[in-house]
Amino acid sequence: MKRWHRWTAACCALALTAVLTAPGGRAGREDTYAGTGEVVGYYAAWASHSGFTPDRLPAEELTQINYAFAQIDPDTGGLALEYETRDRKNLEALRALRREHPHLDLVISVGGWSDSQYFSDVAATAAGRETFAAACAAFLKTHDLDGVDLDWEYPVSGASGSAGRPADKGNFTLLLQAVRRALDRLERQEGREYTLSVAGAAGTWYLRNIEPRAVAEMVDHIFIMGYDFAGPWSQRTGLNAPMSSISSSVQAYLDSGVPAEKLVLGIPLYGYRYQGVSGGSQGVGGTFDSAASVTWRWVKANALKDTSLSGFRRDQVPFLFGNRTFISYEDPQSVAVKASLAAEQSLGGIGFWELSQDDDGELVRAAAAAFGAADGFRDVAADAWYASAVEYVRRRGLMQGVTATAFRPAVSGSGGIRAALLCRLAGSPQTGACDFYDVPAGAYYASAAAWAQARGVVTGYGDGTFRPDGAVTRQQLAAMLYRYARLQGADLSAGADLTAYPDGDTVPAYAREALSWAVGAGVLRGRADGRLDGGGTASRAELAVLLQRFCQEVLELE
């Protein structure tokens, strides 16, 4: 759920956990509109085989990457990797990508068009559902992933040779309930959140075969597959993703009782080329001899340069026709229109199938820009206790969203942001290399860490490390702000008696003076339960509030 500019990686390094003392402030899934502002991209296992490896993904534009696909093992009812060696290599590369972009959620997608044949069986019995759910949780723990996406194509009707039965309608809900319970248990064990989503077809027939409201209650979002309205299976040529069909499909989900914030509109990064076309209007609605999918990458490199093809636009999507060839595809303008519809309808996000088909991220960026231009951060409610602070730090350039439309207020910050924030506040001065051996020269925070070390704003740890991947604690922030205030010649006379807090005597020596000052100056306050919680992690919302107070109360900035 995020942004459409390539915000610096430092901004992307923040996530959710703790909150300041404020009315209703809590960490967890309820802190944001569930599913709001997501930008989801599917990445297929086979993409790396053709050279599009995970390191080429436009991670700065995405909030969630769904790795497609895991299979259901018919013998055990659990999950299995389809391409064992390649999948493990891809998953490791995705985890490396997440380390560079900590805002990303990595999700395993199960099923898909070719591997949905066993869903009906595992969902048919309570034992089967519990076995599958436990396997999902175990898979996430084993591979260090953030959630599960069920791409069952399709309950009741089946597809691509997969079996379906009428009972799938209710069993689908029961399966999701079982998986959600398993993920909740895992959350308690691991101390982190796990997402659950589903991919759903763009048609009323699909909604009749599930229990839409019940499904929506169980998942973080439903990914509407807003494509394949026509293709090689059709009797006549047609547009892959016409806007009238997309709009009707979204409305059908809303009319079925699914909340707008639970919907992610899927956008294709591919089209179809029909050959041997006869009849129709400019090729639309004609008969054809053969058809196959084509990527946006191929369209740009080949079709758009073919002088025998003329360009047209209908129902707000482009197509080419000439020499008995008809090509329906997406371009930056058409994906922006779809993303704008998602924003206008206040949907929870947008998404893409499949990321390797747009290898330079052109379509992803265009859609993200349109979605983000609609109305600020979609996960920051106007009456949120941190709303004014978020706007303040955004306006001053101290923090931005994780994507164009999502701030992710509850996500906790990584260590890399510690120096970067104050370096920005100081005007991003340049300096040489730092001495921390765990700060690579090319890291986004390297120059900020060097500046902060040279100015005494950060001192690192006793073993000579900076620990950029560690979570930011409240006492670390207090110490940084205190040192920066001293550097700026600010008044440091304020102080508070830490023994007034039940955990005041647990504050380490290095942070006692800084915490006393921060509390006395009104920059930092105790938790709702009365604790100081100096060692607690700081969320993005908390960072924004602390920075606003620090700027206005200590530095006396507007």
The string of pLDDT tens digits covering residues 310-342 is 999 999 999 999 999 999 999 999 999 999 999
Residue 30 a catalytic site member? no
Overall average pLDDT of the 482-487 stretch: 86
Overall average pLDDT of the 395-415 stretch: 72
Write 213-218 long-range contacts (CB < 8 A, 24+): 213/256, 213/257, 213/258, 214/173, 215/172, 215/173, 215/176, 215/258, 216/257, 216/258, 216/259, 216/262, 218/173, 218/176, 218/177, 218/179, 218/180
Q: Which of the 8 DSSP states describes residue 331?
A: -
Higher pLDDT, 72 or 454: 72
Q: What is the residue type of 337?
A: V
Q: Which residues pair with 236 in a beta bridge?
A: none
The string of pLDDT tens digits covering residues 128-155 is 999 999 999 999 999 999 999 999 999 9
With contact defined as beta carbons under 8 Å apart, do 139 and 109 qualify? no
Alpha helices in 256-313 (DSSP H): 296-301
With contact defined as beta carbons under 8 Å apart, do 256 and 212 qualify? yes
The residue whose two tokens read 């704008």 is 340
Higher pLDDT, 173 or 24: 173
Phi, psi dihedral angles at 323 (to 5 degrees): 55, 40
The string of pLDDT tens digits covering residues 428-460 is 565 566 666 666 665 555 666 676 677 666 666
Q: Categorize the per-residue pLDDT at 476 as very low, low, confident or very high, splitting at 50, 70 and 90.
A: confident
Q: Using alpha carbons only, give the angle 163, 165, 167 rounded to the nearest 5 degrees.
A: 145
Task: State residue 452's pLDDT score.
Answer: 63
Residues 231 and 247: their CA atoms lie apart, in Å, by 19
Task: State residue 204's pLDDT score.
Answer: 96
In this predicted structure, the answer to whether residue 515 has a pLDDT above a threshold of 80 is: yes
The string of pLDDT tens digits covering residues 217-254 is 999 999 999 999 999 999 999 999 999 999 999 999 99
Residues 159 and 154: their CA atoms lie apart, in Å, by 6
Residues 305 and 458: their CA atoms lie apart, in Å, by 55
Q: Using alpha carbons only, give the angle 156, 161, 167 rounded to the nearest 5 degrees.
A: 20
Task: State residue 15's pLDDT score.
Answer: 27
Domain with CATH 3.20.20.80 in the chain: 34-225+259-269+331-372
Q: Which of the 8 DSSP states describes residue 411?
A: B
In this predicted structure, the answer to whether residue 31 has a pLDDT above a threshold of 50 is: no
Residues in contact with 535: Cβ distance below 8 Å, sequence separation at least 6, in sequence order: 473, 474, 475, 506
Q: Categorize the per-residue pLDDT at 379 as very low, low, confident or very high, splitting at 50, 70 and 90.
A: confident
> Which one from 60, 153, 261, 542 is the annotated catalytic residue?
153
Phi, psi dihedral angles at 484 (to 5 degrees): -65, -40
The string of pLDDT tens digits covering residues 102-125 is 889 999 999 999 999 999 999 999
Task: State residue 538's pLDDT score.
Answer: 84
Least confident residue range of 170-184, 226-240, 368-382, 481-495: 368-382
Per CATH, is 34-225+259-269+331-372 categorized as 3.40.50.11890?
no
Checking phi first, is residue 428 left (phi over 0); if not, alpha (psi -120 to 50) or beta? left
pLDDT > 90: what percent of the chain?
65
Structure tokens at 497: 């008696």
Residue 287: strand, helix, or coil:
strand
